[in-house]
Amino acid sequence: MSNSCTTPTSYVTTPDYLIASCHLITIISFPIHVIGLYIILFKTPKAMSSIKWYFVNLHGWIVLYDNTMGVLFIPYLLLPSLSGFPLGLLAHIVDEFYMVVSLLTFCAYMQLSILALFENRFYIICEFSWKVYWEKVRRPWIVAHYIYTVVVFIPMAYMLPDQEVAKEQVLKVGTLNFQNTVIFP
C-alpha cells in the first residue's frame, strides 16, 4: 500500500459542492419540517395530548440544528486533523468557537428532548414503587440536564489553541484535500 496522497480534483471534493448540497437539502427539508410541525400541532390525537409539547420541543431542536448546520454554519472538516472552517452565511460574522458550541448545544438539546420524551412515556405508562418520589424529581432532573449541557462547554473557551499556530500545524500535517487549494477563506 502506498503512502503517497494525491489531491482529488473532482467538484464533489470542493467546498462549493458542500455549500450547494447543504442548501439543496435545506430547500427540500424545510417544507417537510413545516408540514411536520403542522401535523404535531393540529393533527395530534387527544389520546396523545400529554406528549404533544414534547414532540414540539423535539421538532424545534431538530429544525434549529438542521438549519444551523445546513445554512448558517456549514462546517467543512479538514481530516485527518479534525479541524475545519465554516462556509455558511455566518462564516465571517460569528466566531468559530461560538459556532461549534452552538452546534454541539443544539445537538445535545435534541438528544435531551428525546430523553424527555421517553421519560414522559415511562412516567405515564409504567407503574413502579418509587413513582411518588420520581414525580418530585423528574422536572428538576430534566432542567438540570439542560443547564449542564450549557455549562459543560465553558471550559472549552479556555482550552482553545492560538488559531494562527493551529493553522500552521494543520498545514504541516498535510491535510488530504488541500495541497493546492486555499484552505482558510
The 10s digit of each residue's pLDDT in 4-60 is 555 667 888 888 999 999 999 999 999 999 999 999 999 999 999 989 999 999 999
CA distance 148 to 143: 9
Of the chain, the percentage scoring pLDDT greater than 90 comes to 51
Nearest-10 Cα torsion for 5, 11, 12, 15: 90
Q: Is the pLDDT of residue 183 over 50?
A: no
Among the residue ranges 116-130, 145-159, 169-183, the one predicted with the least confidence is 169-183
- Residues across the chain: 185
Position 71 scores a pLDDT of: 93
> Contact, 70 vs 26, CB < 8 A?
yes
Position 5 scores a pLDDT of: 56
Position 182 scores a pLDDT of: 45
Q: What is the mean pLDDT of residues 138-161?
A: 87
Concatenate the DSSP letters of all residues of 71-133 into one string. Answer: III-EEEETTTTEEEE-STTTTTS-HHHHHHHHHHHHHHHHHHHHHHHHHHHHHH---TTHHH
Mean pLDDT of the chain: 85
Q: What is the mean pLDDT of residues 147-175?
A: 77
Which residue is listed with cell 405515564?
124
pLDDT in tens, 67-76: 999 999 998 8
- Among 58, 57, 1, 71, smallest CA distance to 29 is for 71
Which residue is listed with cell 493546492?
180
Which residue is listed with cell 400529554?
50
